[in-house]
Amino acid sequence: MQSTIIAEQKMPSVEAQGGGTPFLEVRNLEKRFGGVRALKGVSFTIERGRTYHLMGENGCGKSTLIKIISGAQPADGGELAINGKKTEGLTPIGALAAGIETVYQDLSLLPNLSVEENVALTQQLVASNGRLARRLDLKVLRETSIRALKEVGLPTEPAFLSTPVEELPIATRQLIAIARAIASDAGLVIMDEPTTALTRREVDNLIRVVHGLHAKGVSVLFVTHKLDECKAIGGQAIIMRDGLKVAECDVSTQSKSELGFWMTGKKLDETRYRVDAHGDETLLSVEQLGGSGFDNVSFAVAKGEIFGITGLLDSGRNELALSLAGVEPARRGSVLMGGKAADLSSPASAIAAGIGYVPEDRLSEGLFLGKSIRENIVMAVLDRLRGAFGLLDSRRARALAQKTVDDLQVATPDIDNPVTSLSGGNQQRVLIGRWLTIEPSLLILHGPTVGVDVGSKDTIFRIIQRLAGDGMSVIIISDDLPELLQNCDRVMVMRKGRVADVFTAEGLEEDVIYKSMMAEAGQGVQ
Amino acid sequence: MANAAATVAGMRDVPAAIRIMRWFIRHPPAVTFLLVVILCIVVGTINPGFWQVSNLFDMARSTVVRGLFALGVLVVLASGGLDVSFTAIAALVMYVITMLVTNYAPDLSIWPILGIAAASGAILGICNGLLVHALQAPSLIVTIGTQYAIRGFLLTFIGTALFMNIPESMDAFGKLALLRYEGANGAVATLPAYFLVLVVAASVTWYILNRTLIGRALYAVGGNAGIASRLGYNLRTVHVFVFAYAGLLAGIAGIMHVSSNRLANPFDLAGSELDVIAAVILGGARITGGSGTVLGTLLGVLLITLVNNVLILVGIPSTLQLAIIGLFILAAGAMFSIRPKS
């Protein structure tokens, strides 16, 4: 009963699209945390059926803004009007009931629940107004989930519906999160950095789904700092800096450097960072390497060279990286470091062979989140810092950590602060710093700027260039093509577990790499 | 996209043996079922006395209290918590109620007694739930605390003496037979009516877990509490509900214990917590929460009961039974740790 009433209420608003009241009006929103003013009076309007990008560097207040709109935090001043009606004391369930669905970076999916439940449970929860003592309507659950999954182009057979979400790849999960928004009849879908873990093809698919939402009068607000994707998706940019809205414009009318300027207040280079030439001496030589997901991979990296590797998620690039890091040892072929056979049977032996590996997922694979910055940096060289009685020489450890922090310009007042107190870009620098302490001759960076804002990106790129200039070889594995083109000497494209092409990066067009990634990979995404 | 999913799961070109293995890993209760079947066949072959109706009825009888506890643990575990205070709750409830009924209302019938026991258990459980929610502490720690507090309160302020003369109605309920079977040698075996209490409790728990919003909500919270609360699930409601439900079942289990043993001993039940948690884990629930089924839990209870009660039939000393339970748990742990993850 309740769900039909909700559906009836929704109908007129969809018909009214185009004219009339905007979906959401944000007026003079303010928020304080202790003495810090996170939002200093932000106003904007979300019309129906359009795309918006909320842009800004980490700490600019965009996350706080999203939390207020989604009812997770109360505002200290200002007001929100949904469908022209002013709302007070918005709660998460209230925001959902009003048609605001927020897809956080972790996608807010429950890993252990099935696809069907993840898609359609929220709708029943909203229908019962958050009260849990209700019978579950399995028929409605199934019908709702099938309807929503069809719209995002996912399968609807029972086997898929009952699969736990944790067993699905990230791109599928992304679409499931969108399907949930459709199932709950959302008027606005907020997506917090939705594309960080997706490849190009998956981003294209996401864009298609977003256009489908617009046709139904649903607006989408992307929260992002990836300039390339904003340009690719198009729409209205709302740019924030330091708790204020500094600009609002159509993304297509602005160049990337103009958008970057609004976000950072600094002029950013779009040009290549890579200027130095490297020597001819070969450091790493991979011959006929094969393992799970890749085979017959051969390439060489010179001393001081920056070598990029890209490909779709299933191209074997991740598996190749893990085998070089000793995490998942290869089964066939050989790897030479400086002409000598390298033992890469475990992470420890890879480190001994001079290979440092900075994983893609900082939070779960790289950093010890409960520990301080200092402890995180010295983690890999504890036995070198042994003092009397085999105990840690804390003076030397502190000195090493401080030097690393200074070298890499990590923004922190104290190296004993927890590593979680840092922004994404600074955490990434701590992680790179840890691997620099082992003084590797080859540093493998997996997605070095995933979840990192524009300003920090710049610093990380400069660090990479300096390291290469000092003679360290660097391998960057990434699906951020501009990042590879700006930094690398050569870019290797992998496809279906094999080496597809190796390009010289200078003067290379993104399109060439993209085509090589996609060639004969099958266009039938859906 | 379906193809992509299948490729990632690596379902192509795998030998049948590995596929079967994978299926079992995805369906933990099936493993438990297999162990139960194997154990029955082995024991039954060595000692055909195992299949005697009286023995089977005995086993059914001894699953009741452990089964009720296990259903409570399942609900708490599914929501990501852990409860070890249920035996203390059961002991307090059974002792106080037996004492009060004997002294003040000796003619009270069994239904109000069960109702009062369920309600008092639930109230103690609600205290657990509110404490877990208010302290934001791991529920294992909180319930270790309440377990000691409740047991200490019981032994210090209520009493330590055994009640040998339990109320008439409880005694009668314990003797009431659901099925009677006369063996060839004239011995009579009975399946007690209170076995139905377990059947009803299991059905109700199944219904709550699978057919209500609160049931799905507690799996959601067990999967990831932070995300669940963002999606609008009320964590407080879930915390209070699961501990109240576990307390309710513990209260009923306490009365079952007294009725079947025909005495109320305040020192009883203590120490059987791990046995019960082991049964739930063997039934396929993850200790980290977010999973577990009623069927699996009942199979886990059956397995533990078999090991406890039946190995003696084939001459395995009770001390060695402990080692066997340990091995089962290790095997289950190893099995479930290789379950597919993200």
pLDDT band at B160 (very low <50, low <70, confident <90, very high): confident
Taking residues A3-18, what's their average pLDDT? 38
- Name every residue whose Cβ is closer than 8 Å to that of residue A522 and which is 6 or more positions away in sequence: none
DSSP secondary structure string, A140-168?
A: HHHHHHHHHHHHTT---SHHHHTSBGGGS
Of A70-74, A144-148, A506-510, least confident by mean pLDDT is: A506-510
DSSP secondary structure string, B195-236?
A: HHHHHHHHHHHHHHHHHBHHHHHHHHHHH-HHHHHHTT--HH
**pLDDT score of B13:** 59
Contact B232 A96 (CB under 8 A): yes
Contact A155 B2 (CB under 8 A): yes
Q: Which residue out of B1, B12, B234 would a mutagenesis test of the A interface target, given it has the greatest number of A Cβ atoms within 10 Å?
A: B1
Tens of pLDDT, residues A52-95: 999 887 667 888 899 899 888 888 888 899 988 888 888 888 88
Contacts of B1 in chain A (CB under 8 A): 153-155, 171-172, 175, 525-526
**pLDDT score of A521:** 47
Distance CA A431, CA A359 (A): 9
Chain A residue at shortest CA distance from B80: A112
Q: Which residue out of B75, B79, B213, B239 would a mutagenesis test of the A interface target, given it has the greatest number of A Cβ atoms within 10 Å?
A: B213
- Name every residue whose Cβ is closer than 8 Å to that of residue A435 and which is 6 or more positions away in sequence: A356, A357, A358, A380, A443
Domain boundaries, chain A: 2-264
Please give the residue that has the higher pLDDT: either A9 or B286. Answer: B286
Q: How many angstroms away from the CA of B43 is the closest CA of chain A?
A: 37
Own/partner long-range contacts of A209-214 (Cβ < 8 Å, ≥24 apart)? A209/A151, A209/A152, A209/A153, A209/A175, A209/A178, A210/A51, A212/A151, A212/A152, A213/A49, A213/A178, A213/A182, A213/A189, A214/A49, A214/A50, A214/A51
Give the CATH superfamily of A2-264. Answer: P-loop containing nucleotide triphosphate hydrolases (3.40.50.300)
- Which helix (H) or strand (E) segment holds residue A123: the answer is helix A115-127
Residues of B with CB under 8 A from a CB of A: 1-2, 4-5, 7-9, 210-217, 219-220, 222-224, 227-234, 237-238, 241, 290-291, 340-342
pLDDT band at A197 (very low <50, low <70, confident <90, very high): low
Domain boundaries, chain B: 58-334
Contact B1 A126 (CB under 8 A): no
Contact A112 B217 (CB under 8 A): no
- Can you tell me the ipTM of this complex? 0.83
For residue B106, give Cα distances in angstroms to A387, B125, B146, B174, B254: 75, 27, 30, 16, 18
Distance CA B258, CA B98 (A): 8
Contacts of A104 in chain B (CB under 8 A): 230
**pLDDT score of A13:** 38
Q: How many angstroms away from the CA of A94 is the closest CA of chain B?
A: 9
**pLDDT score of B201:** 97
Tens of pLDDT, residues A292-339: 889 999 999 999 999 999 987 778 888 899 899 888 889 999 999 988
Contact A132 B238 (CB under 8 A): yes
Tens of pLDDT, residues B236-266: 999 999 999 999 999 999 999 999 998 889 8
